Amino acid sequence: MGAFIIRRIFGMLLVLVAVSLIVYLIFIVIPGGDPAERIAGKVATQANILDIRHKLGLDRHGFTGFFIQWWSLVKQLFTAKLVSYSDQTNVVSQIKQGLPATFSLSIGAGIIWFGFGVLVGTISAVKAGRFSDRLITGLALVGISIPVAWLGLMLRYFLAGEGGAVSWFPDGGYVPLTSNPWQWFYHLLLPWFTLAVLFIGFYGRVLRSNILDTINEDFVRTAKAKGLSNRRILVKHVLRASLIPIVTLFGLDFASVIGGGAIITETVYNLHGVGWYAAQSIYNQDLPPLIGVTLYGAAFIVVFSLLVDIFYAYLDPRIRLA
Amino acid sequence: MAERLLEVNDLKVQFATEDGIVRAVDGISFQLERGKVLGIVGESGSGKSVTAMTLMGLTRGVNALFEGEVLYKGKDLLKVSDRGMQEYRGNELGMIFQDPMTSLNPVYRIGEQIAEAIQAHGKVGNRAARSRTIELLRQVGIPNPESRVDDFPHQFSGGMRQRAMIAIALSGNPSVLIADEPTTALDVTIQAQIVELVSRLKDDFDSSVIFITHDLGAIAEIADEIIVMYAGRVVERGSKRDIFYDPQMPYTWGLLGSIPRLDRPRPERLHTIEGMPPSLINLPEGCKFRPRCPHAFDRCMQEPGLENRVETPGHLDRCWLDVEFKRAHRDETISPGSVEAA
């Protein structure tokens, strides 16, 4: 177990290095103008630009130049000195500022989508073939198919703010939990729902088919032959086995959302989280924040995939971590 | 007279499928008394497993249709609700299944799965359930039950898992133990041990056994009465002696001929019954075995009833052939080698 974790941590570092290299590579091959010109501003002299270019290592070309530029970027990032090209703000502190909104959004939405996904999947599997199953499966398909941006905008348009048909909800924005817990909750309701809908539909469908597969397993028949009640068979024997693949999905989806992946939801509801920051940096073609946000997100993905693997061994004793 | 535990009268089980109605069990009857072992023999698809699972109420579903009676101590189990059956399953009727590799839940410890069965019937504390579990594991012959009780199924061999399954089935002290091909998935040496174990535990627990198999050899030791099933019907029924020494149905001969025998000269090859069992949706006219029977004649277009045609009372069969003709010709099928040697 210990050796497994150490090996995985080493692998995780390699993944992060590769991610940063790839993001950097993509950025320098897409057309987007010279960062030095951007940093220097509109009324810069040629000497000014050359000076910046030298500082950033942009005057060094070729293979070594690429690595020197990349390394200086990564080093600055990890020493929290990296600043944005467009407005010179510190990348690490900007990400830190986005954390409360992103964490609030993801944790709340994660609880909602996992809970409702399991509920929806279980109900439709138990009622398989009946009307309630068809209704739920149909709604799940709708949930999967609705574009998040459209759903978010529609909810805002009809339900939120002064301009809405009804103004039951505040029109976007984030209120810190520490300043007013009720307003925090109230402001997050629509974003949570918007983000969770897709996952509820998806998890519900996956779980439904897992349950229907598991119900035909021999060990479920054994459980029935023991004289256990249907509820106990469902909860203890069927759900336990059916949830294993859902745990993987949840680990990775949650990591991606908490890692700044809820770009659309954060943007639609004007939540200034990490995803929103990423969106801003993309508009500005601003490399340092992009590298920062990408590595932040990638770190969550690799950490959560490790957690999922460890949790797997707990769920299924046949899996040995070695 | 011994207590009659189970009486099945003209049981029919049908399943509605997209291709038509499957007549899985088509009018079978038998009785089981306390302390007796009933063997049910037949090929895959002959309806023997469906019969067993129907006794336990495990074949119920929206597509299933039942007729007849399954009287357990006088009560018709077919009329008991699914919830009501929980009282019978694992408590009055215990069941062992064919594949011990998949019949145990891989994520729970062996002990938990046995204790769960104990605690499903009556209030038993965790500590009491655990010591009873260890005791059961000892009774089914698991070495070091005190430590093996905490193993997961994947740490058990196939034979040990089947022993654990037997422990689960016996945990409620059932009056009837139903063993559905319990030896099919096991090594030959283990098969004999499991049969011997079932036979011994039947006496220890004072229960009776329904032993289902496709291998007549497997129950040669322990069965008191044997039912041979074909296409959802009973085609021959009699004591073990009747079936092994005076078999009346050409299908039974085929089953007997497919057992390797040490006490007879070795044939060139073991007998195989030509062809496939019929589709249960579209059964042949007349005798259901007719299309595969080497001795079929015109009268077989009419289905023979299950009747006593020999001197021994209680030995029933469904075959029109003359008894003397059969006695003269059956060894050609059962042990072809020995006929030539003689």
Q: SS3 sequence, B47-109?
A: CHHHHHHHHHCCCCCCCEEEEEEEEECCEEHHHCCHHHHCCCECCCEEEECCCHHHHCCCCCC
CA distance A152 to B200: 69
* B196-199 long-range contacts, CB within 8 A, separation 24+: B196/B221, B197/B140, B197/B141, B197/B163, B197/B166, B198/B166, B198/B222, B199/B37
Is B106 within 8 Å of A219 when comparing Cβ atoms? yes
- Report the pLDDT averaged over residues A55-62: 72
Res B1: pLDDT: 56
Give the confidence band of A201 by pLDDT, cuts at 50, 70, 90: very high
CA distance B224 to A274: 76
Is B165 within 8 Å of A226 when comparing Cβ atoms? no
pLDDT digits 0-9 by tens, A24-37: 888 777 766 667 77
Residue A194 has pLDDT above 90, yes or no: yes
Res A18: pLDDT: 93
First to last CA, chain B: 44
Is A316 within 8 Å of B106 when comparing Cβ atoms? yes
Mean pLDDT of chain A: 87
Please choose, from the candidates B109, B115, B193, B181, the residue with its C-alpha nearest in 3D space to the C-alpha of residue B151: B109
Count of A–B CB contacts within 8 Å?
74
**B152 reaches A (C-beta below 8 A):** yes
Q: At what angle do helices A181-215 and A148-159 cross, to 10 degrees?
A: 140
B57, closest residue in chain A (CA to CA): A225
First to last CA, chain A: 6
- Report the pLDDT averaged over residues A45-54: 80
Q: Among the listed ranges A106-110, A221-225, A253-257, B330-334, which one has the minimum average pLDDT value? A: B330-334
Residue A178 has pLDDT above 60, yes or no: yes
Res A34: pLDDT: 67
Q: Give chain A positions within 8 Å (CB) of B83.
A: 229-230
Q: Give chain A positions within 8 Å (CB) of B102.
A: 217-219
**B339 reaches A (C-beta below 8 A):** no
Amino acid code (one letter) for B159: G
Q: Give chain B positions within 8 Å (CB) of A229.
A: 83, 86
Res B340: pLDDT: 47
SS3 (DSSP) at B157:
coil
Is B86 within 8 Å of A218 when comparing Cβ atoms? no
Question: Is residue A269 within 8 Å of residue A191, measured between CB atoms?
Answer: yes
Res B329: pLDDT: 86
Res A318: pLDDT: 82
SS3 (DSSP) at B310:
coil
Is B102 within 8 Å of A229 when comparing Cβ atoms? no
pTM over 0.90: no
Res A138: pLDDT: 92
Res A160: pLDDT: 81
Of A222, A230, A237, the CB nearest to B97: A222
**B327 reaches A (C-beta below 8 A):** no
C-alpha neighbours within 13 Å on the C-beta side of residue B325: 9
- Report the pLDDT averaged over residues A193-220: 93
Is B106 within 8 Å of A226 when comparing Cβ atoms? no
Q: Which residues of A271-289 are buried (b: 16+ CB within 10 A; e: fewer)?
A: bbbbbbbbbbbeebbbbbb
- Report the pLDDT averaged over residues A225-243: 92
Res A33: pLDDT: 60
Q: At what angle do helices B188-204 and B158-170 cross, to 10 degrees?
A: 20
Is B90 within 8 Å of A225 when comparing Cβ atoms? yes
Which parts of chain B sit beneath pLDDT 70?
Answer: 1, 336-342
Res B342: pLDDT: 39
Residues 6 or more apart whose CB falls under 8 angstroms from that of A170 comprise A160, A161, A183, A186, A187
Q: Give chain B positions within 8 Å (CB) of A218.
A: 97, 99, 102-103
Q: Give chain A positions within 8 Å (CB) of B103.
A: 218-219, 221-222
Res A53: pLDDT: 78
- Report the pLDDT averaged over residues A287-299: 90
Res A107: pLDDT: 95
